[in-house]
Amino acid sequence: MRLLNFLFPPHRHSAAIAKERLKIVLAHERAGRHAPDFLPKLQKELIEVVARYVEIREDMIRVNLGKSGETSLLEINIELDGAKPLSAVLRGGLAGAATAAPPAKSG
Amino acid sequence: MAKVVVITSGKGGVGKTTTAAAFAAGLALRGHKTVVIDFDVGLRNLDLIMGCERRVVFDFINVINGDAILNQALIKDKRNDNLYIFPTSQTRDKDALKREGVDRVLEELKQQFDYIICDSPAGIEHGAITALYFADSAIIVTNPEVSSVRDSDRIIGILASRSRRAERNEPPVELNLLLTRYDPVRVSKGEMLTVEDVKEILSIPLLGVIPESESVLRASNTGTPVAFDPESSAGRAYLDAVARFLGETREMRFVKPERRNFLRVLFGRA
């Protein structure tokens, strides 16, 4: 039997492969579809706020809505490695904020 | 109460216009006053499929802009008194389909017709969204092929979130799956997704299965909705789908490989 399988490998129908691929890709896309509309806006505003204190690029903040068991999780990742603090001079006038600014290498 | 039905798919080339024409013809044959509207601004084709391309004077955009009244633009079908065609414009201005204008025209059509069939353009841009926005019911045209099934899933999501019914928190748009270009022989060989596969993946009710058939090209060549061809398997499958749409129970035909009939092979009818 093993020899037979070796000589004539069992043929997998392409329709079965299509179905499996579709199920996987759609499960992924459907999960993303139910993300609330405010996420992109939240991400933009977070960048604005953080940018008042440290120099930050758009790709340094990631906002994700996930699930852990029964709990919905809003996950916000801010990468600070390599971010430069803005000098107090540049922030001109925002005296109070100067002390609140975190050091660049916090993580 | 008039019903607005959108024929949509996401993907192009799956048979939306063929279905819109056949479905409208089928509803008209059943005695319902029906109009079929082309929403594909700039790529008008419903007129050709319906065989009335030389009778187009005014179009959808003319009526929206107030350059013509509705009854000047509606084309009465010569084969069935219940059937009307509402062609679109060949303008390149994609935003010519203004939502308020479309709303006004649809309300006016609802006074005259039982069914308003909206033939959506492919894609998920302005035209396609406008076509599905006002729908009470949607027919999702899908081929048993991965890209078509994926795009149908996307359109189902858009219908659930961006239609007027969704925005107003009204009962959702009624969804129906129409599987087209189905080849039972290839399915039996494991080369094509089965009806059950597609139904399971999209999980919406199945309205019908239209077999791959030579008669569809023959119908479009001559400008005849395929539902007007009683010889054609696709035409009969469309009439079955219309009957189910109207609430009747019909057995699914053309889903198993047909036995080769000697006479049929001899005379070459599909």
- The predicted-structure confidence for B71-83, as pLDDT tens digits, reads as follows 999 999 999 999 9
Nearest Cα to Cα of residue B109 among B69, B160, B78 = B69
Q: How sure is the predictor about A77, in pLDDT bands with cuts at 50, 70 and 90?
A: confident
- In the three-class reduction of DSSP (H, G, I as helix; E, B as strand; rest coil), residue A31 is classed as helix
CB of B180 closer than 8 Å to CB of A52:
no
Q: Which residues of A touch B184 (CB under 8 A)?
A: none
Query: Is A91 a residue whose pLDDT tops 70?
Result: no
Average pLDDT over residues B92-107: 90
Residues 6 or more apart whose CB falls under 8 angstroms from that of A69 comprise: none
Backbone angles phi, psi at B88, to 5 degrees: -100, 180
- Residue B142 CA to residue B152 CA, distance in Å, equals 7
Average pLDDT, chain B: 95
Percent of chain B with pLDDT over 90: 91
| The pLDDT of residue A79 | 80
C-alpha distances (whole Å) from B60 to each of B51, B53, B57, B266 are 18, 14, 11, 46
- Residue B242 CA to residue B247 CA, distance in Å, equals 9
CB of B48 closer than 8 Å to CB of B260:
no
- Between A73-82, B177-186, B247-256, the lowest mean confidence (pLDDT) is in A73-82
| The pLDDT of residue A94 | 45
Taking CB atoms and an 8 Å limit, are B190 and A18 in contact across chains? no
- Residue B223 CA to residue A69 CA, distance in Å, equals 57
- Residue B102 CA to residue B130 CA, distance in Å, equals 8
A23 → closest Cβ in B189, B194, B201 = B201
- Residue B252 CA to residue B22 CA, distance in Å, equals 18
Nearest Cα to Cα of residue B8 among B217, B237, B174 = B174
Backbone angles phi, psi at A79, to 5 degrees: -90, 120
Which amino acid is residue B140, in one-letter code?
Answer: I
Is A28 in CB contact (< 8 Å) with chain B? no
Taking CB atoms and an 8 Å limit, are B153 and A26 in contact across chains? yes
- Residue B192 CA to residue B185 CA, distance in Å, equals 9
Q: Does the ipTM surpass 0.95? A: no
Mutate to test the interface with A, among B124, B143, B146 (most CBs of A within 10 A): B146
Q: Which residues of B touch A14 (CB under 8 A)?
A: 190-191
C-alpha distances (whole Å) from B245 to each of A17, B6, B21 are 32, 13, 15
Using one digit for the tens of pLDDT, what is the confidence trace for B228-246? 998 999 999 999 999 999 9
Q: How sure is the predictor about A82, in pLDDT bands with cuts at 50, 70 and 90?
A: low
Residue with tokens 């789908």: B241
Which residue in A has a C-alpha nearest to residue B144's C-alpha? A15
- Residue A65 CA to residue A44 CA, distance in Å, equals 15
Which amino acid is residue B68, in one-letter code?
Answer: A
Taking CB atoms and an 8 Å limit, are B187 and A23 in contact across chains? no
Query: Is B33 a residue whose pLDDT tops 90?
Result: yes
